[in-house]
Amino acid sequence: MPDRLTEVLAVLGPGAHRFADAAAWAELEAGLGMALPADFKAVVDAHAPIRINHHLYLHHPATDRWNLGKWIHETARAWADVDFDEEEWEDPEEDPRTALGLSEVTFGTAGGLIPIAGTDRGEYVFLAPLPDDDSNDSDSNGGDGDDPGLRICVVDQDVCWYEYRMSFTEWLHRYLAGEDMGGPNSSAFYPGPVDLQYLPMSRNDRPVAWSGPDR
């Protein structure tokens, strides 16, 4: 089985681990009531807060600005305010319960959808439980550091939901390779090294941009 974390870090570079902090992760996970996948935490610790290939943003739990815990809470609260029972869905993919095979949907807590990344194109990436009818299927996911009870789900700018039964690092590696990892025709591929940009950590900070290793 491929080592997806190694593959991702080979594309992004090893990272500076500027804010790696086990205590910050422990506090965030205690608030969520669940452990986050080890591969996701490894990528975030290596690089975040960062913008990847012009669109994808990763936050970090140990920073004041671009704080992952605050972003998860605010994003989950916004989605929790949507009354899915009152909406009239023109497409089944617009109702996350139908699209993801869940009898109910919650946000920001264990057993619900946890936002972990977003793009400036209006997409959100979530960790999500497996569908109700196969939540005990231990073979539905793959990849290193992944919880077999979780999958990656993406909602696009048209509020359509899509599932990817794989680890975060497999999803990220395939996203960077130009595959449609946010629904049909969602590819955001840029040839050559990955474009990376540290996000400003204060009002007077300037973004620092560079390129990942050749690929």
Residue 133 exposure: Cα atoms within 13 Å on the Cβ side: 4
Single pTM value for the model: 0.92
The DSSP secondary-structure symbol of 132 reads: G
pLDDT of residue 99: 94
Under DSSP, is residue 43 helix (H, G, I), strand (E, B) or coil? helix
pLDDT tens sequence across 188-202:
899 999 999 999 999
- Which positions of the chain have pLDDT values less than 70? 1, 87, 135-148
Bridge partners of residue 113, in order along the sequence: 107
* Cα distances (Å, whole numbers) of residue 160 to 92, 93, 94: 8, 5, 4
Tokens of 113: 């959808």
Walk across the sheet containing 114-119 and list its strands.
161-164, 150-155, 124-129, 114-119, 56-58, 50-52, 195-198, 208-211
pLDDT of residue 42: 98
CA separation for the pair 158, 164 (Å, rounded): 18
pLDDT tens sequence across 63-90:
999 999 999 999 999 999 988 887 677 7
Query: For residues 84 and 113, is the Cβ–Cβ distance under 8 A?
Result: no
